[in-house]
Amino acid sequence: MADYQLTADTRVIRNSDGAWIPDDPANRDRQEYDKWYAAGGVPDPYVEPEPMPPTPTAEQQVLFDHENRLRTQEGVPPLTLGDFVQKNGL
């Protein structure tokens, strides 16, 4: 793990404390990063975050809960929200 990590934009994250460093040459932390980088430092690459799970509407949540209650009564394993949305085209 490097001292810094790249972000999707021009900011950099300092790994020691999670500080976001702006792309501002007047910023003291950015000056330290630029010096570290110029001396051969290689930052960790940007990592795309995992996509957020879908957020159901109130109606979808009611339908999802109802479907899983029926499945429980029938002895069928419950669906995940993602499977339910995909199955019902919501």
Give the pLDDT score at 73.
96
Cβ–Cβ < 8 Å for 5, 19: no
Look at residue 46 and tell me if it is in a domain: no
Give the chain's domain count.
Answer: 2
Look at residue 44 and tell me if it is in a domain: no
Q: What token pair was written down for 39?
A: 């001396």
Look at residue 64 and tell me if it is in a domain: yes
89 backbone φψ class: left, alpha, beta (φ>0; ψ -120 to 50): left
Give the pLDDT score at 90.
67
pLDDT along the chain (90 residues), means of 10: 93 96 97 97 94 83 94 94 81
Look at residue 49 and tell me if it is in a domain: no
Supply the range of the domain harboring residue 75.
Answer: 58-88
Look at residue 70 and tell me if it is in a domain: yes
Look at residue 45 and tell me if it is in a domain: no
